[in-house]
Chain A
């Protein structure tokens, strides 16, 4: 094992800001800031019919990226060529399917759920961490 590109300060600072964001949403409108739930809810039919706040949150999520890039630099490396794009798209499709099936992703289960000591969220987070690590191991070290 080699440790690479370790950025503890900016990563912890980003994490603190994400924490503020989820607490703010709970304080303001009493909702869990789970991105898969918010996005899935905004795209599909809703049990509560309340699309408005979800759309505003999603616009903010993009606007936050724009603000960051204006001040600090580009957001993430751009994907180039089919050899990067195809696995990213297949993976993103599985992410969409799986997070809807599990009712949550890194934010809803990993942050909001664990901070409420939800057993479901702890099990979900362990499950996606394990299968994610197994997938990277297979792709990078076996294939």
Chain B
């Protein structure tokens, strides 16, 4: 296994453990987080707070390097426009998140239960992604440009 593959695997393992430990893989907990007027569970704000704390500091440190360990360049999104696709897409995502209690990461990590329900939800997520990519996807601009790593982000 190449270094970059081992690193991607390790990052995925950490992410999966974090999702399971935090409660994001429990759809009832997610729905309770979104239920401000009913049975509210504020826990997921702590997930976001913890992740943002590490990522905000960590990115600042890491992006000072001339390049990543196993790739020639850092690849960061450069788009800045607040367009209808961004807002409409996010609102469609939110409706699905509220209905199911799942965002994409927990759907993948839930495959670790090897249950038919988890496989069915994963298939539905993949179908929704492919449905987008085969219809609206052709108009999708490439939002990620390789930037010179010496430029500020």
Residue of B nearest to A67 (CB): B17
Chain A hits for B81, CB < 8 A: 120
Given that A5-B29, A40-B133, A76-B25 are contacting pairs, would A131 and B15 also be in contact in the complex, using a CB cutoff of 8 Å? no
Partner of B109, one of A31, A40, A43, A75: A75
Expressed in whole angstroms, the minimum distance between the Cβ of B96 and any Cβ of chain A is 3
Chain A hits for B113, CB < 8 A: 65, 69, 74-76, 78
In the complex, whether A30 has a CB less than 8 A from a CB of chain B is yes
In angstroms, Cα B17 to Cα A59, docked, is 13
Given that A129-B94, A133-B34 are contacting pairs, would A8 and B46 also be in contact in the complex, using a CB cutoff of 8 Å? yes
In angstroms, Cα B89 to Cα A4, docked, is 30
> Number of B residues whose C-beta is below 8 Å from A?
123
Contact call B86/A123, Cβ cutoff below 8 A: yes
Chain A hits for B41, CB < 8 A: 3-7
> Number of A residues whose C-beta is below 8 Å from B?
115
Given that A28-B7, A56-B12, A94-B96 are contacting pairs, would A64 and B19 also be in contact in the complex, using a CB cutoff of 8 Å? yes
In angstroms, Cα B101 to Cα A77, docked, is 12
In angstroms, Cα B133 to Cα A56, docked, is 22
Expressed in whole angstroms, the minimum distance between the Cβ of B139 and any Cβ of chain A is 10
Given that A91-B99, A95-B125 are contacting pairs, would A26 and B43 also be in contact in the complex, using a CB cutoff of 8 Å? no
In angstroms, Cα B103 to Cα A2, docked, is 24
Chain A hits for B68, CB < 8 A: 26-30
Expressed in whole angstroms, the minimum distance between the Cβ of A85 and any Cβ of chain B is 6
Contact call B51/A15, Cβ cutoff below 8 A: yes
The majority secondary structure among interface residues of chain A is: helix
Chain A hits for B47, CB < 8 A: 11-12, 14-15, 18
Residue of A nearest to B117 (CB): A79
Expressed in whole angstroms, the minimum distance between the Cβ of A25 and any Cβ of chain B is 4
In the complex, whether B150 has a CB less than 8 A from a CB of chain A is no
Contact call A128/B12, Cβ cutoff below 8 A: no
Given that A60-B8, A96-B125, A136-B31 are contacting pairs, would A35 and B70 also be in contact in the complex, using a CB cutoff of 8 Å? no
In angstroms, Cα B96 to Cα A134, docked, is 11
Most buried by B among A79, A98, A101: A101
Partner of A127, one of B37, B69, B90, B124: B90
Contact call A78/B49, Cβ cutoff below 8 A: no
The digit string for A43-74, where 1 denotes a CB below 8 A from any CB of B, is: 11101000011101111111111111100101
Expressed in whole angstroms, the minimum distance between the Cβ of B93 and any Cβ of chain A is 3
Contact call B131/A119, Cβ cutoff below 8 A: no
Chain A hits for B49, CB < 8 A: 12, 15
Residue of A nearest to B61 (CB): A23
Residue of B nearest to A110 (CB): B48
**What 5 A-B pairs come out closest when comparing CB atoms?**
A64-B16, A60-B12, A14-B22, A96-B128, A15-B50
